[in-house]
Chain A
């Protein structure tokens, strides 16, 4: 990717000779793939719901498919963002909704029930990937009740706060604030 951006780099600026290791893990790539898959599926459901319902023998449920499409797009955007873990859990929840909707169409009189079975299989497989990715991308922030180091001795004032406060008071009583906006406009 940087080979392309090097084209617009100002001549003489440093360019990459050898790239170091990335902190991105395989699960981050998986999350990215699932995010784009979610958006792709969502677009199909949103703009071609009739094709979907016909394939599944579930005609008449186009509005439901459209709403699922919207949900897929939202979850996909979230999965591609910094909040990918929340996006992946949203996808896991969405997989449950997808499975429930598909099961409702798995009736003996549905001539396309083979397609529904296939779709259920796919949803199951993707749900497993979603779940795995959601578990592995749990933010590594410390829990709220974790023990933290505290810094009660780091005042930053080598002579003590009281000395600073009294110096500031003296300056105030002398009738001038030592620093005003615009002072010391100096170029080295």
Chain B
């Protein structure tokens, strides 16, 4: 089969690889009908997250049709079922899964000895996202083996196009969880850094959850226009001071809720010296993340407020203003997304026509064009916001 394979920094190729096989009775194989490139795939493209090996198949936003099931799937899936595959692989049986904390499933990371050393405790296995999270082959391919398939799936009805359902795999529940863990009140201002695909979903989620005002921060006109279309007031950080504008828009009090949809690769600007220093340190491996957005959020957030971090961080971040964080009594909530915790509700909202997540798609191309779309997406060429690949 064809698959997008990681060969090294900035080197992803469309290779011919062997077909996946059932390895465990709880496995299923799907024929992929749609998959997407995620912003967090770019961290792997840049080799900023350790644990990738040449030959690893990329991709964790995938859906398709079940073509084979293992004997242990126990009737929960059958051939022909249409499923979206959540990016977090879950067993559904461990203590964390029973609590709904699916992204920290205790069972599915098959290389937990690595993750235990790096993070203290292993988190769930993820598709196509380094050997720290199990080294599972990803879904930017023609076929995908879904481990623990009896639990790791979202069954979706026929009649709704892939484009509306695909993002249940990651960015929609990720944006939703980011907003939901802010405990939004009707009087709240929610400020969202980053208007990439997750940021766009977080904006819509904050509106759906009843925020009084949503403020979106980015520098790309196409992304800001999309954020505005979704109901946000926008700030272009290249032409305006984020701190001053946020103060203006909140009567000098700061937003109650702040969401970081940027993560470890924040924009580097000469006018922001900390970003230059972070970039230099990242280059010599003296720091793994560029946490400018975290610093700014802690500084600007209203005392007693909540900071929500769906943006991916990989390791060590320097110079976080813990004094301000502690004295202002802020709460930080973060984590990979507990996808299945939210998807029943989100699927219902899509079916009811409350939201159509396909608004974010700007490019749809065959799988074979995937490698060059990584570059287009990374360089923000052709006003690219979200790429869907069709195997």
Residues of A within 8 A of B (CB): 1-2, 4-6, 8-24, 28, 77-78, 81-83, 139-142, 144, 148-159, 161, 164-165, 167-169, 171-172, 177-188
Contact = CB atoms under 8 A, between A and B. Distances in A.
Nearest first, the 10 A-B pairs at minimum CB distance are A185-B100, A168-B210, A2-B55, A156-B359, A187-B92, A5-B53, A149-B383, A150-B225, A14-B17, A20-B13
A180 B145 CA distance: 33
B113 interface: no
Interface of B: 1, 3, 5, 7-21, 23, 46, 53-57, 76, 90, 92, 97-100, 110, 135-137, 141, 145, 150-151, 153-155, 176, 180-181, 183-184, 186, 200, 204, 207-210, 220-222, 225-226, 228-231, 238, 279, 283-284, 340-342, 344-345, 353-357, 359-360, 362, 371-372, 375, 379-383, 385
Given A14-B19, A16-B16, A165-B207, A141 B7 contact: no
A178 B100 CA distance: 17
Interface-central residue, A14, A83, A153, by most chain B CB under 10 Å = A14
Nearest to B210: A168
- Secondary structure dominating the interface of A: loop
B208 A168 contact: yes
Contacts of A158: 353-356
Given A15-B18, A156-B230, A172-B186, A83 B283 contact: yes
B137 A164 contact: no
Contacts of A8: 53
29 contacts: A1-B7, A1-B8, A12-B23, A13-B136, A13-B137, A16-B17, A17-B15, A22-B7, A23-B13, A24-B11, A77-B283, A83-B279, A149-B362, A151-B222, A152-B229, A156-B229, A157-B354, A159-B353, A164-B355, A169-B210, A172-B210, A177-B209, A179-B345, A181-B183, A184-B344, A186-B341, A187-B151, A188-B153, A188-B154
B15 A155 contact: no
A182 to B, nearest CB: 6
